[in-house]
Structures are given as C-alpha cells and as structure tokens.
Amino acid sequence: MSIHLKTSLGNIRRAPFQAMAAVSVLAVTFFVTTLVSVVVFSSEQVLRYFETRPQVIAFLTDEAQQEDINVLVNKLSSDARVNSLRLVTREEALNIYKEATRENPLLGELVSPSIFPASIEFSARELNVAQSLIDEVKAESIVESVGFTATLGGESAVSDVIDKLNTVALYIRSAGAIAITVLAGTSFLVLMVVIGMRIITKKNEIDSLSLIGASPWFIKSPIVLEAIHYSVMGVTIGWLVASVLVMYATPAILKYFGDIPVLPKESSHFFLLLGAILVGELLIGFMIALLGSLFAVSRTLKFTK
C-alpha cells in the first residue's frame, strides 16, 4: 500500500495542473454542497418553528358542560398531532382582555366574564395535519367557532399558509438537489478525464506491469488512490471555505431571524452540524473518486489495447 501511495502522490506532483483542475471542480462542488446543506437545514428549522405558530382557538358554546369540556380536552391531549394545549376559562379570558386594554381601564370595567366564551387553545405538531385537526374540532357539538391567534387572514387562509410554507421548503430542497447533482456529475466527468489522461501517459508502464504478471488491482491501485486524493482535497477545501463563510455570517443571520432557530446557537451543536456535513461529503467524495477512477481505468484500457 505504501508503494501505491507514493506512486499516486508522485503522479500528482508530476502533473500539478491536472490535479488543480480536478481539485478545483471538486472544491466548487462541495462548497455548494455545504452551503445547500446548511440552507436546507435552516429551512427545515424555520418550517418546524412555524408549524406550531398558528395557535388554534376553539371557542366553546355557552351551553357546554364541564364534563363535555373535559372529554374534549382529554381527547386533544391524547392526540399525537397536538403539540400544546390550554383551556381558557371565562375568568381567564376576562383577565387576558383587561391585560390587552390596560391602557384604558374603563374598557375592562364595562365587561363581565359572562360575555367571554371559554375556549381551548392548541397547536399542531406538523402543518400538514393542522387542517384535518381543525376540521375535527369544528365538528364537536360544544365548539361554536374556531379562530386563530396568528395573523393568518382568517380560517380560510390557514391551508394556504400551510401549503406555501411546505412549497417553499420543497423548492429549496429540489433546487439544492438539482444543483448538487449537476455539480457532482461535472466532477465525475472531470475526474474521469484527468484519470484517463493519466492512464494514457502511463500506457507503457501499465503494459510492462501486465507482462510481468502484475495483478489488475496492483495496476489500478495508484490510479484509484490518486482520485481519492483529489476527492479528499476537494471536499476539505470546499467544506472549509463554506464553513468559514457560514461562521462569519451566522451572527448576522441569528440576529435577523431572532427567536427562529435557523442555525444552532450553541457552539457544540453548530460544529456538530458542520462535522456531520463533512463526514457525509467525504463519503460522497470517496464514492465519486472510486467509481470515477474505476470506470475511467476500464474504459481507457479497453480503447488503448
């Protein structure tokens, strides 16, 4: 293995411009891959955050009995689709109203708890189940109407908001996947060309090794290791540049989004995210190098015989 490693490193030193071409393309590929991975992660965090933002308020009828209310509360509490739940009595509703109108105390003195209906506030764990959950609550006999604490433009707009958020996340993932696929395909082709040129320049050496009985893997090993070197260097450079850019922009991003956890705020979680991306990219880079080099070797040797 040490002989093959020395041979592969020697090949890189003898053709630095070919090596630079392969590494540069791979670096650009994994630079974009790192940024896309971070953006996809952030979009998922934003989507997860807003999944629970539309707080649903089920206003209960005046005739609702405490037993019926308890049954509905227990039913929603045991529903896996419900993220949080709160029962608001008439008195609590009056206190909320007084707090909202504390700058004008006269408004709070003119009302009594009897004019405020009791209500159940809850939020869904996932946006794609929110509408069905709302429809089920509306069908309850003790529910008079359903409202929303978030400014969503009314009940009819909830499904539109849900669809828009899911659509944006889908577009981000799709665009990222297309960009990464195109760049990975380009890297694969460039790597094949570089490895093919390397095989052609070493054709006599390969023929000599074949004549003296060298195994096919002994001949291919330096070429495969050379491709892996290109891949590791390209992944490291692309990931490092993208990571520095993300770290530089993170304070401004967190400040802009406020309470929305678009990126991990703790350093350990942040570097864990970048480390996970690096490991994934190294695996992808290894596969590109292995498949590209083996395919290039088989095709080039076939047409040079």
Q: What are the residue ranges in the chain where pLDDT is below 50? A: 151-155, 304
Cα–Cα distance measured from residue 231 to residue 152, given in angstroms and rounded to the nearest whole number:
48
CA dist 299 and 259 (Å) reads 55
Strands (E) in the chain, as ranges, are 56-60, 82-88, 119-124, 143-148
Domains of the chain, by residue range, sit at 2-49+161-304, 55-149
Secondary structure element (H or E) that encloses residue 212, with its range: none
The confidence score (pLDDT) of residue 86 equals: 83
- Long-range contacts of the stretch 278-284 (C-beta < 8 A, 24+): 278/235, 278/239, 280/37, 281/30, 281/33, 281/34, 281/235, 281/238, 281/239, 282/232, 282/235, 284/33, 284/184
pLDDT tens for each residue of 145-162: 887 665 444 445 555 666
Mind listing the pLDDT tens digit for each residue in 31-66? 999 999 998 888 888 877 776 666 778 888 878 788
Q: What is the pLDDT of residue 243?
A: 94
Nearest to 89 by CA among 117, 109, 56: 117
Give the three-class secondary structure for 55. Answer: coil
pTM, 2 dp: 0.69
Which pLDDT score is estimated for 241? 95
Q: Residue 258, by phi and psi: left (phi above 0), alpha (psi -120 to 50) or beta?
A: left
CATH of domain 55-149: 3.30.70.3040
